[in-house]
A and B are shown apart, each in its own frame.
Chain A
Amino acid sequence: MALIFKDETFRDDFTYKNSPATIRRFPFPFIEDQYRYSVNIEPHTPGPKGSVYEFTFDIDEHYVSEMRDRAMVLQEDPGRCQALPHMMTAQWDMLELVMVSLARDYPDLFTLHRDGAHWHWINKPLNIDQKFTFGEVNSLPYEPMEYVGRQIQGDFSLQDQRDGQLWMDAGIITSQADWSLDFDVGMNFFEWHAPVPLAHEAGVFERALKFLLNMQIGQPVRRLNWTMTINPRLDTSPENYPKWGKDRTTVTPENVGEKVHLRVELQGLFRLPRSNAILFSIRGYLMSLEQIVTVPKWGRRLPRVLKSLPPELIEYKGLARYRQTAIDWLEKYDDGAPTSPGGGPD
């Protein structure tokens, strides 16, 4: 199926919406009616045709508009993209992985010709035609991470591995769920997860780190994470909290279905070959409650999950002001019928 890219906004008038086909492929993250914290890591192997797992990196109908929003964020705040000097090899590793994957998986959209270090990259949707020398920073208009980061949906961070730790020493982060790259860059795995409640005590991060340190080339993994966002706003950064924080007080029983969005992150982790760094991709999907309930299973399950959240998590994810309003509205769509296991629609 050829992709038709939508012309839409993630700010001001918020015209973002999912088409019916995109609703069906939404990675609904709740596999049962009860909320349970789990690391839920699985191999990032190709999933069913048409699913968000089909390819290494997922490109969908929102691609062109999302890239436009990213360019606006970077224009306003260049600090959303940062790389410490020792991360240049990892940046090239990332560029190679992204270009090779996109050209292989979406040949109608992207082309990559390689002749030794002479590379030719064509990005049709964004009208980019770039010849450059692999390994030579000056042959690209931006550093490699920023160059490809401006052409792929999702946020990315690069982790250096040393002293039995992972250090987030680079990233391009413009659509984050309330964390600051500028503040966190240079931190280790435990440090940048410091604000997350409950999981430290459960030993979750220790186990996850040990797993990640031994990740192998060519064996990527993935997991899902989620939060909720008012309006389909990509840039919910702490930097701009004064701009979007107020939105949380605007939810009413009348507009909750339209305003409140479930925000799902498909997180991928890749061992990069030359730098031994780990690439972390955070691919976000937004869907309004209105659109979620068009899938009956999700309409039944979501209110049940929201009711079972521990208070620390409600606080951490910033749901307190509108969670009850959302549950009250969603319960109209829960007829009490049992739901099938797994997250996908029936």
Chain B
Amino acid sequence: MTISTIKSRPIYPGLSPDLNARSNIIVCDKAGAAAVTELFSRADATFAKRSTVFIADALQETEAATARKDLAPATLEILPSLSAGIVRLREFLDNAPMGLRLYAAGTEPLIGSVVQAAADYGIDHLSIRTEHRGSLMRRVQCVHCKGFTENVTTNPVTCSHCGLTLFVRDHYSRRLAAFQGVCIDAENPGDVPPMEAIYQ
């Protein structure tokens, strides 16, 4: 769970099944797959049958086999990365009608990317059921060069585009699916505190 008093950061209340939806689209990573298994156990017998699960993560063959077993009888697709998973999700939503329910479970960048993509299809962020699992890593946008730094586990962090040392602010943009990174030593260049690994 991410506990936070940041007003701009979404709340991820945990997955609960919408038994009315005619189909369920679930995007998760390796850690989030466990939340999906639990979701299925809380729903009726046909819920999983109505579900399509995209695991957007690099899985070992044994992990993939376990996922297939745990998530049956849902339709399961394993995509090699988060970005591949989002491409697949968009393809799927291109032709989808109303009556589907979207779920996301995993790291905050995964949830954020799902919410961001869904917005293009007119899906309100509040109608997406979300659960945070796994690493606390963040996606950070450098407010100066606008570049995104992925999988950030420290604060401060070096911008992977312009090289400035960024303070990761507790301010989150749903549209960008990222936290804001602001130059930490703008007032006193070189005055940089040690990096702390606080988003492990």
Check: A192 CB closer than 8 A to any chain B CB. Answer: yes
Which stretch from B51-59, B69-77, B99-107, B170-178 is at the chain A interface? B170-178
Q: Which residues of B contact A241 (CB under 8 A)?
A: 143-144, 182-183, 186
* B7, A191: Cβ atoms closer than 8 Å: yes
Name which of A192, A240, A241 has the most chain B CB atoms within 10 A of its CB. A241
Q: How large is the interface on A (under 10, 10 to 19, 20 to 34, 35 or more residues)?
A: 20 to 34
> Nearest residue in B to A245 (C-beta to C-beta)?
B186
CB–CB B7/A242 < 8 A = no
Q: Does A190 contact B (CB under 8 A)?
A: yes
Of B8, B124, B169, B183, the contact of A191 (CB 8 Å cutoff): B8
Q: Are B173 and A186 in contact (CB under 8 A)?
A: yes
A125 at the binding interface (Cβ < 8 Å): no
For A183, give its contact among B9, B173, B189 (CB under 8 Å). Answer: B173
A49 contacts partner chain B, Cβ-Cβ < 8 Å: no
B186 A242 Cβ-Cβ under 8 A: yes
Closest to B178 in A: A183
Q: Count how many chain B residues have C-beta atoms less than 8 Å from C-beta atoms of the other chain.
A: 25
A182 touches B187 (CB 8 A): no
Interface string of B89-125 (1 = CB under 8 A from A): 0000000000000000000000000000000000010
Binds B, one of A115-123, A193-201, A279-287: A193-201
The contact of A190 among B7, B144, B164, by CB within 8 Å, is: B7
- Across-interface contacts of B176 in A (CB, < 8 A): 183
Once bound together, how far apart are the Cα atoms of A239 and B171, in whole Å?
A: 15
In the bound complex, do residue A194 and residue B141 qualify as a contact, i.e. CB atoms below 8 Å apart? no
A238 to B142, CA, bound (A): 10
Contact of A187 among B124, B141, B146, B173 (CB under 8 A): B173
Residues of A within 8 A of B124 (CB): 163
B6 at the interface (CB under 8 A from A): yes
Is the CB of A249 closer than 8 A to any CB of chain B?
A: yes
User: Contact between A180 and B143 (Cβ–Cβ < 8 Å)?
Assistant: yes
Interface residues of A in 29-77 (CB under 8 A from B): none
The answer to whether A246 has its CB under 8 Å from any CB of chain B is yes
> Which residues on B are within 8 Å of A, measured CB to CB?
6-9, 124, 141, 143-144, 146, 164, 169-176, 180, 182-183, 186-189
